[in-house]
């Protein structure tokens, strides 16, 4: 019975129309730019400890690696299946806000000039991109 209900819901016209709207929003040039830049920001965040040179701070290195990979995976989800991942678009700005405050919050004395500049600038850019990813679905459903 549940399989029949699931199949019936997947074919429901309202659900199909809503997914089509989200997919159309994800195919616009601005959406592709936002998703691509978010992916690049996630990759930079993941490799920033080695690029900037603060990989000796193991707690912040692990934090940036995990947050960067999570952001890059979210961006890949947005670019490949926005109709199914739009519901978690709010996570991207939260990851980026965490990136901004992480040098002051993670254990150890890791708030140096290099870590602050790297995390704050990357975090601010990624927050703006994450808010842009969130707004893509909202602007098409109005």
Rounded-to-integer distance, Cα 62 and Cα 49, Å: 9
- Cα–Cα distance, 38 to 123 (Å, whole number): 11
pLDDT band at 107 (very low <50, low <70, confident <90, very high): confident
- Residue 57 DSSP SS3: coil
User: What DSSP designation does 51 have?
Assistant: I
Q: Of 93, 90, 43, which Cα lies nearest the Cα of 64?
A: 43
pLDDT at 11: 64
Residue 34 vs residue 98, higher pLDDT = 98
Compute the average pLDDT of residues 89-98: 91
pLDDT value, residue 119: 94
Asked if residue 89 lies in contact with residue 133, where contact means CB atoms within 8 angstroms, the answer is yes
Residue found by looking up tokens 């490799």 in the block = 47
| pLDDT reported for residue 93 | 92
Q: What is the DSSP-derived secondary structure letter of residue 55?
A: T
pLDDT at 139: 58
**Residue 83 CA neighbour count, 13 Å, CB half:** 12
pLDDT in tens, 4-61: 666 666 666 666 665 666 666 556 777 788 889 999 999 999 999 999 998 899 999 9
Q: How much is the pTM?
A: 0.78
Chain segment 45-92, per-residue pLDDT in tens:
999 999 999 889 999 999 999 999 999 999 888 888 766 677 788 899
C-alpha span between 50 and 64 (Å, rounded): 11
Q: pLDDT confidence of 135, banded at 50, 70, 90?
A: confident
CA gyration radius, the chain: 18
Are the C-beta atoms of 12 and 75 separated by less than 8 Å?
A: no
């Amino acid at each position: 019975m549940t399989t029949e209900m699931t199949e019936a819901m997947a074919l429901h016209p309202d659900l199909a129309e809503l997914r089509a709207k989200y997919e159309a929003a994800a195919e616009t040039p601005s959406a592709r730019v936002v998703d691509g830049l978010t992916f690049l920001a996630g990759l930079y965040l993941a490799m920033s400890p080695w690029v900037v040179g603060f990989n000796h701070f193991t707690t912040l290195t692990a934090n940036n690696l995990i947050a960067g990979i999570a952001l890059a995976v979210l961006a890949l989800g947005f670019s490949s299946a926005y109709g199914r991942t739009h519901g978690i678009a709010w996570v991207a700005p939260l990851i980026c806000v965490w990136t901004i405050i992480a040098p002051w919050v993670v254990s150890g004395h890791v708030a140096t000039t290099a870590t602050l500049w790297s995390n704050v600038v990357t975090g601010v850019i990624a927050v703006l991109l994450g808010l842009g990813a969130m707004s893509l679905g909202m602007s098409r459903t109005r």
